Chains A and B, each alone.
Chain A
Amino acid sequence: MTGKLLYRAIALGLTNGLSCIGLCLPVALPTIAGTKTTTLTGSILRVLIFLLGRLIAYLFFGFLAGLIGVTLQRFPFFHFWIIPILYLLLALLLIIYGITGLNPFPHFTLCRLMQPHLNSSRFLFLLGFLVGLSPCPPFLLALVNVIDIAGILNGIFFFLFFFLATSIYFLPLIFVGYLARFDLFRTAANIIAVITGVYFLILSFARFSPCLLKR
Chain B
Amino acid sequence: MREKNTGRPRTILLIILILAGVALTILPHWLRTGKRSLQPVILEGPGRCYPDAAPPDSLDILFRLATVTDPDFNLSIIEVGLLETLALDTSARVRVVLGLTTPYCPYLQELAQTVLDTLTNTPGVKRATVKLDPNLARHQR
Contact = CB atoms under 8 A, between A and B. Distances in A.
B25 A26 contact: yes
Given A137-B32, A196-B26, A188 B71 contact: no
B75 interface: no
Contact of B14 (A19, A30, A184): A184
B53 interface: no
Interface in B43-58: none
A168 interface: no
A208 interface: no
Contacts of A22: 28-29, 31-32
Nearest to A137: B106
Contact of A23 (B10, B14, B33): B33
Contacts of B17: 184-185, 188
A124 to B, nearest CB: 16
A191 B21 CA distance: 10
A76 B25 contact: no
For the residues of B in contact with A, the DSSP-based class is: helix
B72 interface: yes
A64 interface: no
B24 A141 contact: no
A192 B14 contact: no
Contacts of B30: 199
Nearest to A25: B25
Interface residues of A, number: 32
Contact of A136 (B13, B33, B140): B33
A33 B10 CA distance: 18
A71 interface: yes
A29 interface: yes
B122 interface: no
A138 to B, nearest CB: 8
- Interface residues of B toward A: which range? 20 to 34
Interface string B100-141: 011110100000000000000000000000000000010110
Contacts of A196: 22, 25-26
B18 interface: yes
B33 A73 contact: no
B24 A74 contact: no
A36 interface: no
A37 interface: no
Contacts of B106: 137-138, 140-141, 144
A100 interface: no
Nearest to B13: A184
B138 to A, nearest CB: 9
Contacts of B101: 73-74
Interface in B69-104: 71-72, 101-104
A26 to B, nearest CB: 4
A79 B32 contact: no
Interface string A140-169: 110010000000000000000000000000
B16 to A, nearest CB: 9
Interface of A: 19, 22-23, 25-26, 29-30, 33, 71, 73-76, 79, 136-138, 140-141, 144, 184-185, 187-189, 191-192, 195-196, 199, 203, 210
Interface of B: 10, 13-14, 17-18, 21-22, 24-26, 28-34, 37, 71-72, 101-104, 106, 137, 139-140
